[in-house]
Amino acid sequence: MEHSPGAVVHRLRPLLLAVHEALSAGVTVSATIHAAHGWNPTADRHLDHQLVRREAMERLRPWGARPEDDEPSDALLARRLEVTDTGTDNLGLPMSGLILRTATDVLRVWRSDDGELPAAATDGLRAFYRQSPSRQLQLELDERTGRPRPEPGHLALLWADSGAVLTRFDLVRPGGHVGRRVQVDWHVDLLHRLVRPAA
């Protein structure tokens, strides 16, 4: 499986555009609620970010979006840990992001004003950041067939907003960590590459 920036953006283009649309709608919802109540969004940034996440999650349900709760990135292990009570929505921790899975990639969506990934402060994040560089192809054996299968790519989509408009929409492929410091394999500005490409 190709993990170069061009190949990943091409492969995930419909999902990436859907996430951009969902986050943009979430930013609008938050701005509308704050304006209707006369609230200043900077007085409670957590509420502002949570409203954006909530709206985005609702719009991304067809893609299987769910709150990111620092679960292991291994799909088989994650299935074993999945909560089986579907009677109520579990929206996760207040400031957690969203997680989306495709057949080839695991995408975590996080707010980031500075364009940096969250520090590798937990076992779950360290496992998510740990992967081979995109220039190197690493295969695992498929337990059912005994044939090699590619590892899923771990990606982060970092967003930020200002004035009810998205100002950051970056796709980042982590490449490990040194202590709490995350190493980056590559970092792409999708606002200019995907959403508003040059004419």
Q: What is residue 192's predicted lDDT score, i.e. its pLDDT?
A: 86
Whether residue 87 is contained in a domain is answered as no
Whether residue 177 is contained in a domain is answered as yes
Residue pLDDT tens, the chain, 199 long: 789 999 999 999 999 999 999 999 999 999 999 999 999 988 988 899 999 999 999 999 888 877 765 444 443 333 322 333 333 454 555 556 899 999 999 999 999 999 999 999 999 999 999 998 887 554 544 556 555 556 789 999 999 999 889 999 999 999 999 999 999 999 999 998 887 765 5
Q: What is residue 73's predicted lDDT score, i.e. its pLDDT?
A: 41
Q: What is residue 76's predicted lDDT score, i.e. its pLDDT?
A: 36
Q: What is residue 145's predicted lDDT score, i.e. its pLDDT?
A: 57
Whether residue 49 is contained in a domain is answered as yes
Whether residue 100 contacts residue 74, with contact meaning beta carbons closer than 8 Å, is answered with: no
Whether residue 15 is contained in a domain is answered as yes
Q: What is residue 133's predicted lDDT score, i.e. its pLDDT?
A: 86
Whether residue 45 is contained in a domain is answered as yes
Whether residue 150 is contained in a domain is answered as yes
Domain with 171, as residue range(s), is 5-82+92-195
Nearest in space to 156 (alpha carbons), one of 180, 125, 198, 181: 125
User: Half-sphere exposure (CA, 13 Å, Cβ side) for 163?
Assistant: 1
Q: Which residue has the tokens 């929206």?
A: 91
Q: What is residue 66's predicted lDDT score, i.e. its pLDDT?
A: 77
Q: Write the DSSP symbol of residue 66.
A: E
Helices (H), 100-163: 123-129
Whether residue 59 is contained in a domain is answered as yes
Q: Into how many domains does the chain fold?
A: 1
